[in-house]
Amino acid sequence: MSYISDISGAIETGKIKVIEELVQTAIDAGLPPLEILNDGMVAAMTAIGERFSRGEAFVPEMLISARTMKKGVDILKPHLTKETANALGTVVIGTVQGDMHDIGKNLVAMMIESAGFQIVDLGVDVSLERFQEAIDSNDNVRIVALSTLLTTTMPSMKRIVAELNANAQRDSFHIIVGGAPITAEFAQQIGADGYSPDAAAAAVLAKSFS
Ligand code: B12
C-alpha cells in the first residue's frame, strides 16, 4: 500500500487512532503536503460522500471520517502554512446559516491565511447578523468568504450575499463563495465577486483582490 492510499483508506474507514502517524510518516518520507491533502484526504471524503449517496454509508460514518480528517489536517497544517505578516488585510469566513459542514471552509481559511491574510473564522451556521457584526467590528476587512455544502442552504447563501451587497461599506470588501454545490454561474447570479472550486484556488482568488 502506498502512503497516499493508506491515508485515504484510514479516513474513509474512520481509523482515527492511526491517522496522525500515517500522515507524519508520509511527511517524513518527503511527500508534498498538498498531495497528501488532495489525493489522500479530500479524495477520501469524496469517496465517503459517494457511498452515502448510494446508501452504503450513513451519518455516523461521515462524522467519524470527518473527525479522522481533522486530526490528519492538524499534523499537516504546519507544513502547508507559512509565517506571514497578515499584511493583505482581514478575511471574514464562515459556513452559512443552516449548514454545519466545516472541513472545506477550514481548509480555505488555512490556505488564505498562508497567502498573507488575517482570518476571522466565524465557524458554522453563521447568520447574516454575525457576518455583519464581524465586518463592523474588525479592522481592514477586505474579503467576506461564505461556504456551503448543502443545496438546501444555497438560498441562505443567496440571502446573505444580497444583504451584504446592501451594506454601507460594500465598496471596501469583496465577497467570495464556494462549497461543493456552488458554481461560478451561481456565484455570479447571486451577486458574489468570486468563486473558486478548491482551497488552493481560493487563496489565489483572494490575492487577486488585494
Ligand atoms: C463529512 C460530511 C458530513 C459531516 C460534516 C462534518 C464537518 N465537521 O464538516 C456530517 C456528518 C456532520 C454531515 C452532516 C450532514 N450531511 Co454531509 N457530508 C459530508 C461529506 C462526506 C464530506 C464533506 C467534506 O468535508 N468534504 C471535503 C472538503 C475538503 O471538501 P468541500 O467541503 O467541498 O470544500 C472544498 C471546496 O468545496 C471549496 N470550498 C469550500 N468552502 C468554500 C468557501 C469558499 C469561499 C471558497 C472560495 C471555496 C470553498 O474548497 C474546499 C477545499 O478544497 C459530504 C460529501 C461530499 N462529497 O462533499 C457530505 C454531504 C455534503 N452531506 C450531505 C448531507 C445530506 C448531510 C446531512 C443533511 C445528512 C443528514 N441526513 O443529517 C447533514 C447536514 C447537517 C447540516 N445541517 O449541515 C450531502 C449534501 C447533499 C446536498 N445535495 O445538499 C453530501 C453531498 C453527501 C451526499 N453525497 O449526499 N456531513
Please give the mean pLDDT across all residues of the chain.
93
Q: Ligand 1, closest atom to CA 48?
A: 21
Q: What is the residue whose three cell numbers read 476571522?
A: 120
Beta strands in the chain (DSSP E): 90-95, 118-121, 141-147, 174-178, 194-195
Contacts of 45 (CB under 8 A, 6+ apart): 11, 65, 66, 69, 103
The count of residues in the chain is 210
Q: Indicate which residue's Cα is closest to atom 31 of ligand 1.
A: 104
Mutational test site, ligand 1, from 63, 76, 149, 153, max ligand atoms within 8 Å of CB: 149
What secondary structure letter does DSSP report for 171? G
Q: Is the pLDDT of residue 84 over 60?
A: no
**How far is the C-alpha of 199 from the C-alpha of 114, rounded, in Å?**
11
Which backbone phi and psi does 180 adopt, to 5 degrees? -50, -45
- In sign, the C-alpha dihedral spanning 119, 121, 126, 129 is negative
Residue 198 has which C-alpha cell?
Answer: 478548491
Q: What is the residue whose three cell numbers read 484556488?
A: 201
Q: Is the CB of 104 under 6 A from ligand 1?
A: yes
Is the pTM higher than 0.85? The answer reads yes
pLDDT at 81: 67
Mutational test site, ligand 1, from 62, 147, 152, max ligand atoms within 8 Å of CB: 62
Min mean pLDDT across 83-87, 102-106, 130-134 is at: 83-87
pLDDT at 86: 64
Q: Is the pLDDT of residue 114 over 80?
A: no
Average pLDDT on 74-99 reads 85
pLDDT digits (tens, 9 = 90+) for 21-34: 999 999 999 999 98
Cβ(93)–Cβ(120) under 8 Å?
Answer: yes
Q: Is the CB of 11 under 6 A from ligand 1?
A: no
Instruction: Calculate how far, in angstroms, residue 163's C-alpha sits from the geometric centre of ligand 1.
Output: 24
Q: Indicate which residue's Cα is closest to atom 28 of ligand 1.
A: 104
pLDDT at 159: 97
What is the set of domains in the chain, with CATH numbers?
3-80 (1.10.1240.10), 90-208 (3.40.50.280)
Q: Is the CB of 201 under 6 A from ligand 1?
A: no
Q: Ligand 1, closest atom to CA 102?
A: 9
Considering only residues 96 and 168, tell me which one the structure prediction assigns the higher pLDDT: 96
pLDDT digits (tens, 9 = 90+) for 31-67: 999 899 989 998 998 899 899 989 999 989 988 998 9
According to DSSP, the residues that pair with 143 across neighbouring strands are 91, 174
pLDDT digits (tens, 9 = 90+) for 141-197: 999 999 999 999 999 999 999 999 998 788 899 999 999 999 999 999 999 999 999
Q: Is the CB of 64 under 6 A from ligand 1?
A: no
**How far is the C-alpha of 57 from the C-alpha of 189, rounded, in Å?**
34
Residue type, 63: L
Q: Is the pLDDT of residue 83 over 60?
A: no
Q: Ligand 1, closest atom to CA 202?
A: 47
Q: Is the CB of 101 under 6 A from ligand 1?
A: yes
Q: Indicate which residue's Cα is closest to atom 60 of ligand 1.
A: 49
Residue type, 171: D
Which backbone phi and psi does 20 adopt, to 5 degrees? -60, -45
pLDDT at 85: 58
Confidence of residue 77 (pLDDT cuts 50, 70, 90): confident
